[in-house]
Structure 1
Amino acid sequence: MSEFPASGPSGSELSGGFRAQQRFTDPMAPVPAEWTAPTPPQGVPAPPAPAPELPETGADPAPFLDLSTVALLGKGRRGPSAGWRKWLYVASGRLIDPGESPKVLRHDTLLAQAQTPLRGCYRIAVLSQKGGVGKTTITASLGATFAAARGDRVVAVDANPDRGTLNQKVPLQTPATVRHLLRDAEGIHAYSDVRRYTSQGPSRLEVLASESDPAVSEAFSSQDYHDTLEVLERFYSLVLTDCGTGMLHSAMTAVLDRADVLLVISSGSVDGARSAAATLDWLDAHGREDLVRNAIAVVNGVRGRPGRRGATVDLDKVVDHFSRRCRSVRQVPFDAHLEEGAEISLDRLKPDTRDALLDLAATVAQGFPGAGFPGAGLPGAGRPHDTAG
């Protein structure tokens, strides 16, 4: 006897059963949107990987790879720049690198300090009650050092009422003076406008000359100096002012009011040192104690002179006197090129003179707003109240 029934289910029963099981969908029913969506050109994106679990210590994940030039290419080996160190480096096929000498490191440190970035304008006043101590020379040579080291604009203004000679320190390019600048101030809107009134030297230092007629320059008042700075501060980062010897000159009040730092110039002689000290005394007596404390004393034209015992001024005592009153003291050696009194070329200065001027520029830059001390741990880096020679 067969285990199966003699007859199976009918067609209608099968049809009804499949429909009951919902094995087929209605062709007129709407199609899900994901069935007809276009395939992305890069394929279906993979699901995001789970974030790595941080260690129990709570440490941050590893930072992204630095894509700086140094990180990608490495730091090139330059080797020593001079002396026996360079010879050894080249002779060994660049295998032995003794590094730069302390002198080169000191120079690089001072240069970086002199190049401290500036926001706005920084005003330097150079003054002394005694003529002939090199006040104008220091103004021009320091300005040239700044201009050669930095990429921004530097200008020196002659505020000497007695026919100043600052314009003789650079090649004369225009007969215009500060009086012409003031006359046309309302029409100056761009650097190209103010450049018509200045002369520029090889170092890129610009000089704004004073009137050659003492009667006219004497009329240069405090308001005139204020108006001059209003123009120059719009286009220059550093403004150096070569002041006259008279502390009671009409423009001196504005010079002191607007100065960020004073450079008090002294020679290596007894009368030069006394005159510089008298300048500080006058400032203290007229309520300028803050300027005195932040001032930089510059002993100019220092050189060894033969003579009898006791005939040479003890510069150590001169330096000690000013270091107790000022922020810093600097010495600039005698240089025949500066003694000429003509146009100044940094290339013609002795190496020691260039180093001393760079040291002076770095010391001034210590007072820039927000200035740090890059490489302060390296040999020779200037600090307040030091007395480098």
Structure 2
Amino acid sequence: MRPRPLPPPPEPPRAPEPAITPPDPEHEVTGGGLRRLFHAVGGGHGDADAEYEQRLQQPFQGSRHIVVLGCTGGAGQTVTALMLGHTFAQHNGEPVVAVDVNPGPGALARRTRSETNETLTGLITRADQIGSLTAMRRYTSQAKSGLDVIAAGKNPLQALDDRDYALAIRTIDRFYSVTLLDAAAAVVARVLPYADQVVLVAPASADAPRAVAMTYEWLDGHGYVDLRQRAVTVINGVSRRSMDDVEQAEAVARGRCRALVRIPWDDHLSMDRAPRNELKALRAPTRRAYLALAGVVAGGFAAVPERYTEQQQEAAR
């Protein structure tokens, strides 16, 4: 579980249309219905897009935390977190923040324009001085989509303890309805207790089936069976050439998570282009795939188990 940005392959083939299979528990899709869903999502069917937008706009009580994890190196974890954040920011109507707890050359904060030198460490140090959203935004950079981003900074994240993360989450929750955390392997154990949902990202490659299986086993072995069952698993960078690997990974995941989402390959998500490009620069099928992903995640907001909420509150004390 060492996430690294997804490198672009040489001359990638044309990507197939994105698909979801199955969506969330509200939709039981089998046989011909599955084919129709593929067409609706991949073909940009207006009704499907409108449904996902409606889910993103549904009100809910309190705040929600989405932890994005890479099942293996090169999965595209950070890109997925960023594009999911852009999509929420554009459609949700409430303040949305992405927290970079996965520093490195391809870090989330480096893929967005920088408007401040402040970091997560500074926010924690001066949390008692943050009394408004305006004050909070001194510690964030805002993307064109409206997404606020908190950078990890230069200090090792391992230096932050459980109390630091509790204080950070408690402070962020005062001003944001949706928080995404792009988590490095070294801090996964510290942020998962706050997760209402996890998005597990696997690459469209031969490594994906084993990586997905090992990630599920790790979650189960560390007491996160419920979280794994409610997870959304993303197969990232799908092309026609990779379909055999994609289907094998989906066979491993099917029935063990809440939803499976395919994100097609898109040149605009490569390392050298992503910092300046947001959703507008993506191909239409890719934008629709991220809209579908965000809609499926938002569809699970109302189903957060009460015991997870209690666990979060206890950790934040």
**TM-score, scaled relative to structure 1:** 0.63
The one-letter code of the counterpart of 1:130 is T
**1:277 aligned counterpart, secondary structure:** helix
Give the one of 154, 166, 180 matched to 2:122: 180
**Residue of structure 1 aligned with 2:170, choices 214, 222, 230:** 230
Match of 1:140 among 62, 69, 82: 82
Aligned residues: 260
Structure 1 or 2: more helix by fraction: 2
* 1:120 corresponds to: 62
Task: Quote how far apart the aligned CAs of 1:163 are.
Answer: 6.5
> Aligned residue for 2:158?
218
Alignment of 1:346-361 (within 5 A): 346-361=279-294
Give the Cα–Cα distance (whole angstroms) in 1 for the partners of residues 232 and 195 of structure 2: 13
How far the C-alpha of 1:352 sits from its partner, in A, is 0.2
**What pairs with 1:1-389 in structure 2 (closer than 5 Å)?**
103-160=45-102, 165-213=107-155, 216-244=156-184, 246=185, 249=186, 251-305=187-241, 313-339=244-270, 340-369=273-302
Larger Rg: 1
Q: CA contact under 8 A between 2:212 and 2:249: conserved in structure 1?
A: no
What does residue 39 of structure 1 align with?
A: none
TM superposition shift of 1:317: 2.6
State the SS of the aligned residue for 2:145.
coil
**Pairwise CA distance, 1:279:** 1.2
Letter matched to residue 295 of structure 2: A
Amino acid in the other structure paired with 1:277: A
Q: What is the CA deviation profile of residues 209-265 of structure 1, one whole-angstrom value per residue up to 9, with x for unaligned ones?
A: 00234xx33312222211110100000000000011x2xx3x433311110001110
Give me the whole-angstrom Cα distance separating, in 2, the residues matched to 1:169 and 1:161: 11
Unpaired stretches in structure 1, ≥5 consecutive residues: 1-100, 306-310, 372-389
Match of 2:39 in 1: none
Contact 1:163 1:217 in 2 (8 A): no
Q: Take 1:186 and 1:238, find their aligned partners in 2: how far apart are those partners?
A: 21
Change over 3 Å in CA distance of 1:236–1:298 after alignment to 2: same
Asked whether the equivalents of residues 267 and 299 of structure 1 are also in contact (C-alpha less than 8 Å), the reply is yes
In structure 1, what residue type is equivalent to 2:294?
A: A
Contact 2:102 2:152 survives alignment (8 Å): yes
Give CA-to-partner distance per residue, 1:109-148, whole Å, 9 cap, x none. 1111121112211000001242221100000000000100
CA RMSD in angstroms comes to 2.0
* CA 1:222–1:252: 2 relative to 1, 3 Å: farther
Change beyond 3 A, Cα 1:102–1:125: closer
Task: Check whether the contact 2:44–2:288 (CA below 8 A) recurs between aligned residues.
Answer: no
Q: Percent identity, aligned pairs only?
A: 35
Measure, in 2, the Cα distance between the counterparts of 1:147 and 1:264: 20
1:102 is displaced (CA, Å) by 8.2
Say which structure, 1 or 2, has more relative contact order (CA 8 Å, 6+ apart): 2
